[in-house]
Structure 1
Amino acid sequence: MRSLINTGRPPVFCPGCSHERITGALDKALQQIGLDGNQVAIVSDIGCSGLFDTFFNTHAFHGLHGRALTYATGLKMARPDLTVIVTMGDGGLGIGGAHVLSTCRRNIDLTLLVLNNFNYGMTGGQCSSTTPQNAVVGSGFLNRLERPVDICQVAAAAGAPYVTRTSSYAPDLVDEMAAAIRYEGFSLIDMWGMCPGRYTKRNKLTPKAIDAGLKGLVPFCGPVAANQRPEYSRAYREITEQMAPCAGPAGVAARFTPPGSGRQEVLILGSAGQRIVTAGEIVCLAGMTGGMHATLKNDYPITVLRGHSVSEMVLASEPVDYTGIDRPAVVIALADEGVGRRRQLLAGLGAETLILKAAGVNLPETSATVQEIDFKAKKIKTQDWALASLALVAKRKRVISMEMLKAALEIRFKKAILETALDLVDRVSE
């Protein structure tokens, strides 16, 4: 097999950095197994280990600090045919500790290469989760207050079925990597190395010192007997294949011709309790009965029973790529709380936009066409204002028609609630 090293951007590390040895060893391990670049995905973390995705001619994914295993898990579940390898430093190991534990418990077929050089080498040599307590680092005395993590002990306790602790200078490093990559399940290799750019400027560390340190710890050399079990994604597929298939989403048949074509945007501005989100769903269902693509975005606080409630809908003849609202055809303004969330957008609207405003709601200065409705005078309850507004929009044949609105109500509601909703629509449209 040929080398997978990217000659267009070859590895460049500080002179004496153990990462360079690991890069070469990984390349040889992939050759030993017989893998082509299109069969491998390297998911890298942040830091010096995060450069690995550029050094190999393979699939690659580079994400946020400490999160590499989450991306790798999704990738392996979606593409079980790929050999997925994660490169992570001791910095990412600490930052993403919860993700490491979850991956150990899950036992998905990934190989985690921990490039452990005992500090945050890229950002100044601060202490990491593995820094010895007697080390001199760029973050002062903090490492003296924290016990370093023994990631192999932690991984084994969390259920990792394959754990190896070794030196980046070990003569059998290539074989160790190849064995871990071949293992069907989660495998972790903790590789101790040197950071000459930061750590070894303040601390005496040599390959012999690394070997001596490793000998003083509990050895880990591959499979952990107590943790052997089926690989996650394979077991997942076997279980789901025996289950009855889930029913797909209910389809909405296109039965009507919508009043307009192209892209049309609708914005509903209200407050908690006004059933704004439900109104947004109804608009989308109505659009779908006209054969339109529909998107819905909602904005409300976690307080739920208090505060603003905003729904943004896009109906379009073609698939919707961008779901943002720039120039709505219709705005329904039912409460000051919702208006406050989109005040700047309202101020920039032109006369082509219709704003249906509940009496008493304050709007910013706008060039849009504004019509005020006194729902209270018509004895319409606050929670029904949004649906009543949709009836007025449909009556004016803006975006949706009356037949589209009623069809949407029949999809969304049943029995007594449907009868009440249709009665309200008829009453308002008269």
Structure 2
Amino acid sequence: MTDSDFLKPGSLPFCAGCGHHLVARNTARALARLSLDPLDVVLVTDIGCHGIVDRFFLTHTVHGLHGRAAALGAGIAAGLGRGKVIVFMGDGGASIGIQHLVECASRNFPLSVVVHNNMLYGMTGGQPSAMTPCGFRTAVMPGGKVEPGYDLCRIIHAAGAENVRRISGAGDFSEELAEAFAVPGFSLVEVVESCPSYGIRHNPGRKPADIARDAGLEFGVWQNPGRPVARLSPRADCQSLLELERLTVNWSSPLRGRFSVLVAGSAGGRVQQAAEALARAAVSTGLNASKKGAYPVTVGTGYSAAELILSSEPILHTGVVQPDAAVVVSADGLNYAGKVVQRMAAGQLVIDDGLELPPTGARVWRRPFQKLAGVKDAALLALLFLLRCNPVIPTAALLAAAKSGRGTDLFALLERLDEVRDSAIS
């Protein structure tokens, strides 16, 4: 095995001089040293600059929520029973999720956490984290942080971790990573590194390792005696996802081939629920269906979108390059889907009439979805209207799958839509 078996060759998506480059490459070298099969490795990443490396690793990857990557990794490791689980976190994510790290160490989950400690929140502008050392200057603390940061290694060692170490993120440190990865129980490696965008700028001439030492942080290895690792016993009363009861087929579909839909709206607009209802409705007609959601890391604000494929044939890839239909119900959704809509040379665009119409080759249907159904039901109403225009499945199937019960009579709203004179625009 070589590092190219674990990490795609070529440049990585980090700023020039960022310490994350070396962590990713040394992780790949460490896995090669251990002769692990890439498909026996699960990499769980946290929110942060380090997390955008997911698509470059040739292992299994899972992208978690901020501070929760260790909890995700613990669940995977406890249930997997084999292979190696590695968690990438920044010092910001470790600060947010420190309770998860303490529990992982205390219960001895079989995973390794690599903390990219550049002493600040790099993705959001260089704010200090709980691990930022005293005196370290940041964008919001130009005079330097006045209180000491957490000594994460001491905390995690005291919680019972089998192996904890703090190392400098310079040169080849793959051997030290490999030693940590080989620990049967919980291990944590804190890699002290630099952020060229915010750390170096506000602390010129200071090396990260020297900053850590000046703050009283020691470099070294701390160990606890080995003990049984935390595992989940299989539950006989729990049904496997592979054995779940199939959705019953109650309707039929005239679709032969494939029909893809892009749905775009705003967070809080139940876009994901509406899209999932369409997918379930398609399955209830005997079709295959896939749904892939998309939304920013802010989760509660901004756009919310979903790509759906309905097909009479098996779906081997869930990506949608050019949809057969686009449904856009908010300005956030239009900002997200605008370029896709402009590239459409055919197909259908169903769009709220309160939005500016982008140039497109699709046939356009404009209706007052938000005005009639409100923010929370606009996406579902727009999908129902799409099925009126293109009846690949019955609208009754979508209404049944939506299980509305929201105090909104969507079928009556459909009838009102028919009364609106704004007809199709070729």
Q: TM-score range by the shorter chain?
A: 0.5 to 0.7
Shift in Å, 1:21: 1.6
Shift in Å, 1:2: 2.3
C-alpha separation in 2, matches of 1:213 and 1:140: 18
Q: Do the aligned partners of residues 90 and 110 (structure 1) sit closer, same or farther apart at CA in structure 2, a change above 3 Å counting?
A: same
In the TM superposition, what whole-angstrom CA distance separates every residue of 1:183-232 from its partner, at most 9, and x where no partner exists?
Answer: 00110001101111111101132266257448x4355414224xx32111
Shift in Å, 1:146: 4.4
Shift in Å, 1:162: 1.5
Q: Who is 1:223 aligned against?
A: 223
Q: Who is 1:84 aligned against?
A: 85
Q: Do the aligned partners of residues 156 and 342 (structure 1) sit closer, same or farther apart at CA in structure 2, a change above 3 Å counting?
A: same
Shift in Å, 1:129: 1.5
Q: Who is 1:60 aligned against?
A: 61
Q: What are the equivalent positions in structure 2 for 1:29-428 lying under 5 Å apart?
A: 29-140=30-141, 144=145, 146-169=147-170, 173-204=173-204, 205-206=206-207, 209-210=210-211, 212-213=213-214, 216-218=216-218, 220-225=220-225, 228-233=226-231, 236-237=232-233, 262=250, 326-328=398-400, 341-345=406-410, 347-348=412-413
C-alpha separation in 2, matches of 1:121 and 1:32: 30
Is the Cα–Cα contact under 8 Å of residues 90 and 114 in structure 1 kept in the other structure? yes
Is the Cα–Cα contact under 8 Å of residues 139 and 202 in structure 2 kept in the other structure? no
Is the Cα–Cα contact under 8 Å of residues 193 and 210 in structure 1 kept in the other structure? no
Q: Do the aligned partners of residues 142 and 53 (structure 1) sit closer, same or farther apart at CA in structure 2, a change above 3 Å counting?
A: farther
Aligned CA-pair RMSD: 3.5
Is the Cα–Cα contact under 8 Å of residues 119 and 128 in structure 1 kept in the other structure? yes
In the TM superposition, what whole-angstrom CA distance separates every residue of 1:160-195 from its partner, at most 9, and x where no partner exists?
Answer: 221111111265x21110011010011000110111
Is the Cα–Cα contact under 8 Å of residues 74 and 109 in structure 2 kept in the other structure? yes
C-alpha separation in 2, matches of 1:159 and 1:202: 36
Q: Do the aligned partners of residues 139 and 347 (structure 1) sit closer, same or farther apart at CA in structure 2, a change above 3 Å counting?
A: farther
C-alpha separation in 2, matches of 1:100 and 1:349: 51
Q: Who is 2:344 aligned against?
A: none
- Say which one has the larger Rg: 1
Query: Please, which runs of 5 or more residues in structure 1 have no aligned partner?
Result: 250-259, 264-323, 332-337, 351-364, 366-430
Shift in Å, 1:108: 0.8
Query: Please, which runs of 5 or more residues in structure 2 have no aligned partner?
Result: 241-247, 252-395, 417-426
Q: Who is 1:16 aligned against?
A: 17
In the TM superposition, what whole-angstrom CA distance separates every residue of 1:74-100 from its partner, at most 9, and x where no partner exists?
Answer: 222332222111111111111222222
Structure 2 SS opposite 1:88: strand
Is the Cα–Cα contact under 8 Å of residues 88 and 113 in structure 2 kept in the other structure? yes
Is the Cα–Cα contact under 8 Å of residues 131 and 143 in structure 1 kept in the other structure? no
C-alpha separation in 2, matches of 1:104 and 1:48: 25
Structure 2 SS opposite 1:144: coil
TM-score, normalised via structure 1 length: 0.54
Q: Do the aligned partners of residues 197 and 134 (structure 1) sit closer, same or farther apart at CA in structure 2, a change above 3 Å counting?
A: same
Q: Do the aligned partners of residues 145 and 325 (structure 1) sit closer, same or farther apart at CA in structure 2, a change above 3 Å counting?
A: farther
Amino acid at match of 1:165: R
Q: Do the aligned partners of residues 37 and 108 (structure 1) sit closer, same or farther apart at CA in structure 2, a change above 3 Å counting?
A: same
Q: Do the aligned partners of residues 138 and 230 (structure 1) sit closer, same or farther apart at CA in structure 2, a change above 3 Å counting?
A: same
Q: Do the aligned partners of residues 39 and 10 (structure 1) sit closer, same or farther apart at CA in structure 2, a change above 3 Å counting?
A: farther
Structure 1 SS opposite 2:145: helix
Q: Do the aligned partners of residues 154 and 213 (structure 1) sit closer, same or farther apart at CA in structure 2, a change above 3 Å counting?
A: same
Q: Select the structure that is richer in helix.
A: 1
Is the Cα–Cα contact under 8 Å of residues 167 and 211 in structure 1 kept in the other structure? no
Q: State, as a whole percentage, how many aligned pairs show the same letter.
A: 34
Q: How many aligned residue pairs are there?
A: 265
Structure 2 SS opposite 1:191: strand
In the TM superposition, what whole-angstrom CA distance separates every residue of 1:241-275 from its partner, at most 9, and x where no partner exists?
Answer: 9xxx65989xxxxxxxxxx9816xxxxxxxxxxxx
Is the Cα–Cα contact under 8 Å of residues 125 and 139 in structure 2 kept in the other structure? yes
Amino acid at match of 1:217: L
Shift in Å, 1:68: 0.9
Structure 2 SS opposite 1:230: coil
Is the Cα–Cα contact under 8 Å of residues 10 and 55 in structure 1 kept in the other structure? no
C-alpha separation in 2, matches of 1:56 and 1:127: 29
Q: Do the aligned partners of residues 140 and 95 (structure 1) sit closer, same or farther apart at CA in structure 2, a change above 3 Å counting?
A: same
Is the Cα–Cα contact under 8 Å of residues 116 and 191 in structure 1 kept in the other structure? yes
Is the Cα–Cα contact under 8 Å of residues 52 and 87 in structure 1 kept in the other structure? no
